[in-house]
Amino acid sequence: MRKLLYLLFLPLLLLAGKPHLLLLETYHEDANISGWLMSEKLDGVRAYWNGKALISRGGQKFAAPSWFTKGFPPFAIDGELWSKRGDFANISGIVRRKHAHDGWRQLSYNIFEVPYQKCGLLQRLRVLQAYLKQHPHTHIKIIKQRICHNQNDLKHYLKTIEKKGGEGVVLRDPLAPYIAKRTHRALKVKSFLDDECRLIGYNQGKGKFAHKVGSFRCQMASGMIVNLGSGLSDYERMHPPKIGAILTFKYKSLTKNGKPRFPVFQRVRIPQKHQ
């Protein structure tokens, strides 16, 4: 429901080609995840291959070079365009450009789902594995899935990923069919909570930030206004994203009024428009 409301703030993304994708719910410790599958949550750019074109979560076609997508399967696959941990700004810059370029050589397409295939997650991924066995591909990689035995197993794995600079962990019910919407059978696990908001203005900086942006004034899907100052680099204060951009931020918890505690800017998730 939250994401459906959020679409009201994204009129430019309501395109005819927008794919219906599986989306993650947030993990809570009372969830029974014994026997589920867990994998690293890559901090890249979501990309959906529909069998003919590589498109964004918002329905925009990526200007991927033909040599990158040549030999992609004739069926749908879903994953992250990614290079390495902590490289989101570079990845985003590469894929946002309107024309194909050699920057794509830094990227791989890391697959976590083969939509609309039968049976559970591992069986769906085996469809792609069988295809790649017959048609090896340099740029396609399948994200490794491991069995989660219990809560302690999850905590240890999350700690290991975060120590390496990773974003978090994804938990999946291995028996769930493909679900093209937000589902409690697919969960994201992080030490911090995170959310997205729409940039609606700038607050003037003070003191050492005089003559720069002090914080971003943003609106969440709920209508709540949040100011993001922590986490901004000097460059972002001098060259802020355009009004209308969608930003990702993290926070500790919510107040009883639904306001994020200690919000910290992380990145521009969706620019106001492609560069």
Give 150's DSSP letter.
S
Q: Catalytic annotation on 118?
A: no
Alpha-carbon gap, residue 275 to 272, rounded angstroms: 9
Residue 102: CB atoms within 10 A of its CB come to 9
Instruction: Please give the structure tokens belonging to residue 196.
Output: 């997205």
Q: What angle do CA 186, 188, 192 make, to 5 degrees?
A: 160
Catalytic pick among 3, 18, 41, 181: 41
CB distance 192 to 242 below 8 Å: no
DSSP state of 101: -
8 Å CB contact between 111 and 128: yes
Active-site amino acid positions: 41
